[in-house]
Structure 1
């Protein structure tokens, strides 16, 4: 087996771990989120707005590789709970900007702080270089998957 095939096998191991990691983290958010009343989808919208500032629904969909319709449902759910608000978009009259309310910021901050408490328990024997390498590999895989058709 050549070096390229071995690398491909190792990357397959990464994919095999990312799926369960993602599903377990979703379950953990769903279990903890009732404190703030957040679903995983609403949490993702709030976190994106926290990180990027006001955005349109199409911008959020592209940023998260999710359908505009799904993001719109999550935004509507968040708006009904008073976590986000719609504001005028000077760049596009028909596509409102969505921004966090004070309550939305408090909710996402509380969820992220709980997540950070869990992650503090994980990182003890990991080095910064290992985490940098992990982020580099996962970011590269994400870019590649964005650029290719998986059919």
Structure 2
């Protein structure tokens, strides 16, 4: 099975890099780097979050996520609000401009993703998500040890 998982990595790496380049190429349109896009998407899906929570969700350093949040805040895309659960760790939330920017990116990406369909089924996608989720879980546990 390990050799088959390497096949997944062999496809996943180039796919990630191509998607990243596509987002970066469109940066002048929305003003988003791949890191800022990831922060905005997390906030779109989950609502206001702290920087440490975003870092854990993305398996990135808190410092890197803080830089992305700072970039997004400088562009007026996010803002810090008080966190009732923790005075020193503000919640970060989307501004209206941030919501509009990530919605535009998602809409554009959705148009590209419509081309993927072909003969793929919902079951194929379910299997793909299950495999990738399992791989992520294994590496998360490996990182913790």
Asked if TM exceeds 0.5, the reply is yes
The number of residues matched between the two structures is 145
Alignment map for 1:111-130 (pairs within 5 Å): 111-130=105-124
Give TM-score scaled by structure 2 length.
Answer: 0.97
Q: 2:38 aligns with which of 20, 41, 44?
A: 44
Q: Does 1:53 align with 2:30?
A: no
1:20 maps to 2:14: yes
Using the alignment, how far apart are the partners of 1:60 and 1:80 within structure 2?
18
1:108-149 Cα distance to aligned partner (Å, 9 max, x none): 000010000000011122111000000000000000000014
2: CA distance between counterparts of 1:64 and 1:46? 12
Report whether the alignment pairs 1:134 with 2:140.
Answer: no
Cα RMSD for the two superposed structures = 1.3
Which range is displaced more, 99-108 or 27-36? 27-36
The higher radius of gyration belongs to: 1
Structure 1 unpaired stretches of 5+: 1-6
Return the TM-score normalized by structure 1: 0.93
User: 4+ residue stretches of structure 1 with deviation over 3 A?
Assistant: none
State whether structure 2 residue 85 is matched by structure 1 residue 91: yes
